[in-house]
Structure 1
Amino acid sequence: MSDLHELTAAQQLRALRAKEISSRELTEHYLARIDRLGAELGAFVTVSAESALEEADRADERLAAGERPALLGLPLGIKDLSPTAGIRTTFGSAAMAEFVPGEDSWAVGLLRQAGAVVLGKTNTPEFGSTCYTENDVTPRPSVTPYALDRYSSGSSGGTASAVAAGLLPVGHGSDGAGSIRTPAATCHLVGVKPSRGLVSAAPATSFFVASTEGPIARTVEDAVLLLEVMAHPAPGDLYGWSHPGGFTKTLQRPLKVAMWTDTGLDQDVDPQAELAVRRTAEVLTGLGHDVREIPLPARWDEPVRQAIVTWFAYSVGVAVQAMMLQDRTHLLSSYSQQLLSINDTLSANDIVTSQALLARYASTMLAGVDDYDVVLTPTTNGAPVPIGYYDGDEAERMLRWSCHTPWVNLVGVPAVSLPSHVDGESLPHGVHLIGRHRQDADLLALAAQLESAALWEERHPPCWNQ
């Protein structure tokens, strides 16, 4: 079949189990699409074709024997921030360009145990520190397949580009300040950031855990397939928890939904961001939910903005130390070097004070929505931005575009970005739903309800049929 990528991941798994297709067929199909389209999209850092085909053949043998692990035979890409045994893992850094881990990360190990066929590593910025995907490892940034001159955001930009263009059926990402959700928005996809601890971050490197791994997919069902495999805590996970009964459920009651479009900064709300929220609110109301517009509970004032920069600078400093790159810092990107220079000036008091400021900001946000089941906002303040947009004051420009997502990581609650619409310039826009802590199943049920109510139509990019 020449159109295997038309099938959703769930449909592919059903076809594999019915022996209507083989894992080798699927794997060869996706590898051919990656070969044709991957470089132009900046989607992959490393393609492991030989080992993928070997894994696909083993999957076919297991399927023939009647084995049924959750993802057996399904091709998958792993974001290049997660270690993969035997497959180069660069963390988006030229300083790590030849690193091949000996072990998988916890979540990658779960995906492999579930039978996924790993095609390679998807593109990411250096250490995942930017909301655009451009680095010194790959010759081209990750771009949205809807407009090849615009970023697919970051730091899961390569995954989003690949899934949207039909180079992967579903993708693995991670999210520290919006890094699953904003790429999903730029590529007309579903992106899920789970509650803190649902997907294990063990072994812990800090008590301040903001990042988590999660799925990027074309459908809510496909996202749930991946999440259910990843949602098993590692031994020793400080925040680990399990969700009984999985993540496929039906809402039992109408939900109370708070909404806003205010960015929390001194800037206008993008008209398309406003449209995304208003049209979603109409659909939610039509479904019987109680939607109320409320003031933004907390703003991005100067101390909070500075605390965010301190957090990112400290994170890059920790990464450089953990990877023992002190003698290779000249190979780091200019932005990483800038953050590293800031980190070198920080005292322990500076770091603790910044985390206290972020905790106060996060607590104020939570208190402001305590009476609601769900919060509705734009995912981004505007369309995917052109390549080169962030040249100059990167931190400020990134926050102005991605201002709606970081607070969710600070408080640790679940969130999902859903496609809203494609505008008159054929650019995608997303809408952002935030749930209560550990109420991931309810949030995904609401996402599925919106999908069934046709909140968005399936709109593929120009390269889909190539």
Structure 2
Amino acid sequence: MSEPYELSAVAQLAALRAGDVSSRELTEHYLGRIEKFDGGLGAFTTVAPDLALDEAARADHRIARGESAPLLGLPLGIKDLYPAAGLRTTFGSAALAEFRPQADTWTVGLLRQAGAVLVGKTTTAEFGATCFTDTAVTGRPTVTPYDPTRYASGSSAGAAAAVAAGLLPLAHAGDGAGSTRTPAATCHLVGVKPSRGLLSSSVPLTSLAGTTIEGPIARTVGDAALLLDVMARPWNGDPDGWRPDDNFADAVERLPARPLRVAVWTDPGFGGARQHPEVVRAVERTATRLQELGHDVREVRIPARCDDPVRSALRTHFAASVHAAVRSLVPPGRREQLLPYTRYLCAEGEALSGADLFAANRVLAHYASAFLTALAGFDVALTPVTNGPPVPLGHFEAGGVAGIADAMLAWSAPTPWANWTGQPAVALPSHVDGDGLPYGVQLVGRRRDDASLLALAAQLETSALWTDVHPSCWDE
């Protein structure tokens, strides 16, 4: 008989509604796995068993009364960049290690209204600034369960590590330049960055250009759609907010309405970076599968590269964003507790002028425009997620703090462009290499056509593009 963590989130909800398992039993099950495995993974910054069990008890009472809600009784983790009332929220920073917010963010409130049982906060990079996660709050890196000597990326690393190891059925995440998709790729998972405006974030860390958006990390496309349906209710005051015509759980049950035109490239788009052979293999095998499914797949040149002006503009954007977040959240007397790279970004941000930020955003707008123009005749782009496997611990910091930004982009350059175009993007698993390391691919769809993108992702999933290859801790 399957253990609860082996079931999809959709199946666990069905078991809760049928009375085959209680929310308390399910929550205790996950709390036990967290206690057993998280010491070696660093997936959680905060675990709240008392709060979780109280919420589970309330969920069981509601189920017994015949109430229903989309996530009623299902355990869930919240990324530690997003405040949740009653749960310690550190933003990945030791300077905020004791902060307990009084209110939920907009999206966390939606998840609670849907009946989710919050078991804790998943670990994030300090202020979401890096695609690797090693925080002074926990004193340890967040690693992929597939190889604990390698990062689970960032900044949604804890969410991905927890889902991949069976410590959560699915998880809340957030993506400012790939921060949902690259962790999903390092952990053989599905990670969704929705179109701009589908979700509203009230967190003060929201990026200055509106490029950061929350989304799900899950083991299946159906599970991701389940969580996305709950979160896809933008705040009425969001100027970019929009609502889909249909729910995503229905969309993933349908095939794409017609054969799609798919642009494909394998170039990572960064300097003279060599195309990693396993990354090329991942994209090519996915392209072949799409052709077999009847789609029109055409190889194209990458529309724009992450050249010196773009890299400079990205550094300006992140320095300004992190500097603004630190100024807003961290009292001056605690800023010495910030990590060296965060202090470096704050110094860079302090020196920026409004004109500098305006010029950087103009460069990034032209960068985004090149992709939108080149892809106007296509429904989907198929690309790498990262330029290589999960990265060994210490890799990004080997050249000192001044070299971290370029070291990160050399690995993660395939993802940020979709944040600036505002298009929906999904990371999907591809395969695991001979060393047991996972690789993924990225699909990017048309703006505000998230449903078609998820339908295509589900079609690839049902065609057995990838199999459930779990890390060693899965069966322990």
TM-score tier by shorter-chain length is over 0.9
* Counterpart code for 1:55: E
* Counterpart code for 1:368: A
Whether 1:21 aligns to 2:21 is yes
Q: Deviations over 1:72-125 (max 9, x none)?
A: 000000000000101100000011110000000000000000000000000001
Contact 2:190 2:429 in 1 (8 A): yes
Q: Tell me, what secondary structure is at the counterpart of 1:51?
A: helix
Q: Percent identical across equivalent pairs?
A: 58
Residue of structure 2 equivalent to 1:429:
439
Question: Using the alignment, how far apart are the partners of 1:422 and 1:395 within structure 2?
Answer: 27
Equivalent residue for 1:459, pick from 447, 469, 473: 469
| Worse-superposed segment, 439-448 or 206-215 | 206-215
Residue of structure 2 equivalent to 1:50:
50
Residue of structure 2 equivalent to 1:384:
390
Q: Tell me, what secondary structure is at the counterpart of 1:31?
A: helix
Q: Tell me, what secondary structure is at the counterpart of 1:456?
A: coil
| Worse-superposed segment, 261-270 or 163-172 | 261-270
Residue of structure 2 equivalent to 1:127:
127
Structure 2 length as normaliser, TM-score?
0.96
Residue of structure 2 equivalent to 1:445:
455
Question: Using the alignment, how far apart are the partners of 1:206 and 1:222 within structure 2?
Answer: 27
Q: Deviations over 1:348-400 (max 9, x none)?
A: 11111001111111111111111100000011101001011111221111001
Question: Using the alignment, how far apart are the partners of 2:56 and 2:112 within structure 1?
Answer: 12
Contact 1:24 1:60 in 2 (8 A): yes
Equivalent residue for 1:335, pick from 341, 349, 373: 341
Any gaps of 5 or more consecutive residues in structure 1?
none
| Worse-superposed segment, 194-203 or 210-219 | 194-203
Residue of structure 2 equivalent to 1:63:
63
Residue of structure 1 equivalent to 2:267:
262
Contact 1:172 1:213 in 2 (8 A): yes
- 1:105-120 → structure 2 map (5 Å cutoff): 105-120=105-120
- 1:144-223 → structure 2 map (5 Å cutoff): 144-202=144-202, 208-223=209-224
Residue of structure 2 equivalent to 1:224:
225
Residue of structure 1 equivalent to 2:419:
409
Question: Using the alignment, how far apart are the partners of 1:18 and 1:361 within structure 2?
Answer: 51
Equivalent residue for 2:257, pick from 236, 240, 252: 252
Question: Using the alignment, how far apart are the partners of 1:50 and 1:191 within structure 2?
Answer: 29
Q: Which runs of 4+ in 1 moved over 6 A?
A: 203-207
Any gaps of 5 or more consecutive residues in structure 2?
none
Question: Using the alignment, how far apart are the partners of 1:229 and 1:458 within structure 2?
Answer: 26
Equivalent residue for 1:364, pick from 370, 390, 393: 370
* Counterpart code for 2:450: D
Q: Tell me, what secondary structure is at the counterpart of 2:150?
A: coil
How big is the alpha-carbon RMSD for the aligned residues of Structure 1 and Structure 2?
Answer: 1.2
Contact 1:362 1:410 in 2 (8 A): yes
- 1:275-424 → structure 2 map (5 Å cutoff): 275-391=281-397, 392=399, 393-424=403-434
Question: Using the alignment, how far apart are the partners of 1:206 and 1:415 within structure 2?
Answer: 18
Change (3 A) 1:203 1:382: closer
- 1:325 deviates by 2.9
* Counterpart code for 1:208: A
* Counterpart code for 1:306: S
Residue of structure 2 equivalent to 1:96:
96
Contact 2:90 2:96 in 1 (8 A): yes
Question: Using the alignment, how far apart are the partners of 1:63 and 1:20 within structure 2?
Answer: 12
Change (3 A) 1:362 1:36: same
- 1:347 deviates by 1.1
